[in-house]
Amino acid sequence: MSQRSCLSVILAAGEGTRMKSAMPKVLHAIAGLPMVAHVVKAAEAAGATGLALVIGHGADEMRKAVQKFAPKAETFVQEKRLGTAHAVLAAREAIAKGYDDILVMFGDTPLIDAAALAAARQKLAEGAAVAVIGFRPPNPTGYGRLIEKGGRLVAIREEKDCSEAEKKIGFCNAGMMAVAGNQALRLLDKVGNNNAKGEFYLTDIVEIAGAEGLDVVATEASFESALGINNRAELAEAEGIWQTRRRREAMLAGVTLIAPETVYFSHDTEIGADTIVEPNVWFGPGVKIASGAKIHAFSHIEGATVASYCDVGPFARLRPGADLRQRAKVGNFCEVKQATIEEGAKVNHLTYIGDARVGAGANIGAGTITCNYDGFSKFFTDIGEGAFVGSNSALVAPITIGKGGYIASGSVITESVPDDALAFGRARQKTLPGKGKELRERFASAAAAKKRAAE
């Protein structure tokens, strides 16, 4: 089958009114990725060499989104919604290119398993003209039933048309199917609209192909894989299923999740073996965690790279561009953005490091901030190897703290500091005996007068 070409036609024209959103339904995200992008990934994993997305509502928005996750996909607009067969035929130009296999999928089934798609394609390789993907829901009520005889699929029967015996069938239509490329357009063109809604139903090709003596079969996917999303409650359910799968994959790959149900991954999270993740950690898109790291509770990480044996959190935020080198430490209530924390450097607590480099072995004291933005532009702070920045310091960029430099606590540093130099950037302390009591009495008298005036 590896030599067979395959086009995946993904139907993504639904408006999704039940989502109560101005955004096209299939652009709502699972694990930080539009649900239709999950479908694209599954199609590609199943060997699809071409992609055709049939879109409708929000066509311009869809095209922009598609460029990000499937830049080579062709898009076709279904101007009128006249049924699923009509939607597939919107991609006639792509289908006519002569692919061996045509996979028909739906953009709102983000959990579809690539193995289920590959199994349907395998049936085509074995000679079937149509392979319908079915599933067994806990309760089949409302689903079309797959009617089989002698190992062949003879019909897809909507529940309202089922006999009492057919209603007891638990094998249901998932909507997706594989069709032989040399039969697809001919079968689709034979689909009529002689039904109550006057629509062209894709499911009709089962009986059309069967009447011609072509081989039509059914394959089976898991219930979760076939789950369609129509509202935000189902979107949350799908998110939960995806997260459960990903957590299990991570743990089987050697990652310790102390409270798995509280950890949230994104679609592209990479996390190495022997990493320990404490409860309530959120990984946004673009995160790479190397082996042996420790991510403490309530940390929020996105667009960041964390090297081996780093220590992050608790309550740390790593924003896009954060790059922690081996054995670096970013502690509680610290934020790092677009900055490199080099090997063994420590940013322990209550600190903001943005647009900066913190050299190897440097120590950043509590309450330190890099003042990197003047309201219009960003500027860089370079902190050298082995430097020590005292607590409650403000480093006003652009600025360089040299190798081994020492910044006194409470300093505002506006000029670069040479290697091994000590810098103070604060007013000299002055103590006035008795002035504290005098000031307190003055404030108390003013407050009392104000209260009397109010009465």
Note the pLDDT tens digit of each residue in 419-442: 999 999 988 888 889 988 898 899
Q: Which residue do the tokens 């998932």 mark?
A: 174
pLDDT, tens digit, 9 for 90 and up, residues 43-80: 999 999 999 999 987 788 888 888 898 899 999 998 88
CATH code linked to domain 6-220: 3.90.550.10
Phi-psi region of 237 (alpha: psi -120 to 50; beta: other; left: phi over 0): alpha
Residue 10's Cβ-count burial label (10 Å; 0-12, 13-18, 19+) is buried
The arithmetic mean of pLDDT across residues 308-314, rounded, is: 98
pLDDT at 22: 86
Report the pLDDT averaged over residues 186-214. 91
Closest CA to 52 of 1, 89, 83, 2: 89
The DSSP annotation for 323-346 comes to: EEPTT-EE-TT-EEEEEEE-TT-E
E strand map for 118-186: 130-135, 145-149, 152-157, 172-180
> Does the annotation count 349 as an active-site position?
yes
Quote the percentage of the chain above a pLDDT of 70. Answer: 100
More confident residue, 333 or 142: 333
Q: Where are the domains of the chain?
A: 6-220, 232-423
In the chain, % helix, strand, coil (3-state, to 5) comes to: 25, 30, 45
d(CA 251, CA 375): 44
- Span 390-412, mean pLDDT? 96
**Which segment of 57-61, 92-96, 381-385 scores lowest on mean pLDDT?**
57-61
Maximum CA extent, the chain: 106
Which long-range contacts link 328-335 to residues 24+ away (Cβ below 8 Å)? 332/296
Q: What dihedral angle (degrees, nearest 10) is formed by the CA atoms of 391, 396, 398, 399?
A: -40
- Mean of per-residue pLDDT scores for the chain: 94
In sequence order, the β-bridge partners of residue 104 are: 9, 177
pLDDT at 96 over 60: yes
Predicted TM-score (pTM) above 0.85: yes
Q: Please tell me which residue in 28, 267, 296, 349 is annotated as part of the active site.
A: 349
pLDDT tens digits for range 321-360? 999 999 999 999 999 999 999 999 999 999 999 999 999 9
Residue in the structure block whose two tokens are 């689903």: 143
DSSP designation for 144:
P
Q: What's the CATH number for 232-423?
A: 2.160.10.10
- Name the band, by pLDDT with cuts 50, 70 and 90, for residue 454: confident
Quickly count: other Cβ atoms within 10 Å of residue 375's Cβ: 4
Residues 6+ apart with CB under 8 A from 352: 334, 335, 336, 337, 368, 369, 370
Q: Does the pLDDT value for residue 248 go beyond 90?
A: yes
| Confidence bin at 1 (pLDDT 50/70/90) | low
The DSSP string of 422-444 is EE--SPPP---TTHHHHHHHHHH
3-class SS of residue 250: helix
The pLDDT, as a whole number, for residue 2 is 59
Dihedral of alpha carbons 120, 125, 126, 129, sign: positive
Q: Is residue 22 exposed (0-12), middle (13-18) or buried (19+ Cβ within 10 Å)?
A: exposed
